[in-house]
Amino acid sequence: MRTEFCEQLGIEFPIFAFTHCRDVVAAVSNAGGLGVLGAVGFTAEQLEVELAWLDEHVTGIYGVDLVIPSKYEGKGVDGLTPEQLEKQLAQMVPQGHRDFAQQILTEHGVPALPDGEHHNELLGWTSTTAGPQVEVILNHPKAKLVANALGTPPPEVVSRIQESGRVIGALCGSVKHAQNHRDAGLDFVVCQGTEGGGHCGEVSSLVLWPQVIDAVGDMPVLAAGGIGNGAQVAAALAMGAAGAWTGSLWLTVEEANVPPAQMGTYLEASSHDTIRSRSWTGKPCRMLRNDWTDAWESPETPDPLPMPLQMMVALDGVKRGHRYPEAAKDVNFNPVGQVVGMMNRIERSSDVINRLVEEYVTACDRLSKLNG
């Protein structure tokens, strides 16, 4: 199961786990895979705390996932601090959108945040705000892999990461995106089919993976979107992928920092319960369908704004959902892929890694018998 990309990184299994929970990152990396911490919800100061903790608890290496969109409202505005950019973008958000978001939360009885509780409205959703996060990553030697979730990273970010001895890649949802990443000199691509949770395109994994693998030549491709068992990992590697990039699976592990109410929502959902919606981030994002997504789909309500303006509208809802998960059960932000229908029990992260490996071996044995 060991690929050349495993050898390059010094990991045992080509299983990559994207998660916003540092405990899951550590558990996966220590079990032979590579945990990747999603940084978009952290300020630079908070990210420093998370990575310092990982340095102490990870025996090998880990990765960090940034969100630096290649296209967003306000891109090209130079010379502004993150605070100045946030203020400028905030002036572009219609009050009607903010009022509508508040109406949804109020109608569902989700309490407001305590008075005076500060929350930055961008937190890494632009190159300006993600810049300080890059500086933090460069101070942590065990953070050996960096991925960008939306588009090709800026050239100066690519060069700084690579010159530090790290590898940098980016997610893609089309052949064109993958070729852009290759032409920009990235070290790998994460090819995500439409089944995947979070931001995704429209092409299914089984169709997209081989197209991208053929298009980028020797560049390592990590297959993502809908992977829930080891047989799917075997299928991805059989197509030529260098590894499997998983995300949704880690929402229902013991180490996940997911409130019980939200965890129950994932465990009870079927693969038919997801939707691609712009209602939280402004870009098509796969998540569980609920009253929030339905409200923004109605023709009588405001259309979601472009990124990052819609996130500036919705972030109060995200924060309130985290603080009051029981009250926000029907309007919470639940990004997850169609694989949610296979996530019907809580497992330890290390057991998930072991299960994927065992299922991979079983699938390979099955093919060997057929070939024989």
pLDDT of residue 42: 85
Sequence-distant (6+) residues with CB within 8 A of 118 are none
Beta strands in the chain (DSSP E): 15-19, 34-38, 62-66, 143-148, 167-172, 188-192, 198-199, 221-224, 243-246, 274-277, 285-288
Is there a contact between 41 and 30 (Cβ–Cβ < 8 Å)? Answer: no
pLDDT tens for 312-342 read 899 899 989 988 999 999 999 999 999 999 9
pLDDT at 81 over 70: no
- Give the pLDDT mean for 250-264: 94
Structural domains of the chain, count: 1
Q: pLDDT band at residue 126, thresholds of 50, 70 and 90?
A: low
Tally the residues of the chain: 372
Q: Does residue 132 have a pLDDT over 90?
A: no
Domain CATH number, residue 294: 3.20.20.70
Cis peptide before 154 (omega within 30 of 0): no
**Tokens of residue 334, six digits:** 């639940």
What does the block give as tokens for 202? 């429209």
What is the span of the domain harbouring residue 332? 4-371
Please list the residues that pair with 131 across neighbouring strands. Answer: none
Report the DSSP pairing between strands 15-19 and 243-246.
parallel
Instruction: Check whether 273 has a pLDDT greater than 90.
Output: yes
3 state DSSP class of 153 = coil
Whether 72 has a pLDDT exceeding 60, the answer reads no
Strand order in the sheet with 274-277: 198-199, 285-288, 274-277
Which region among 58-72, 80-94, 290-304 has the lowest average model confidence (pLDDT)? 80-94
Q: Identify the residue whose tokens are 């990559």.
A: 16
pLDDT of residue 68: 82
- pLDDT tens digits, 133-145: 899 999 999 999 9
pLDDT, averaged across the chain: 91
Strands 221-224 and 243-246: parallel
The pLDDT > 70 percentage for the chain reads: 92
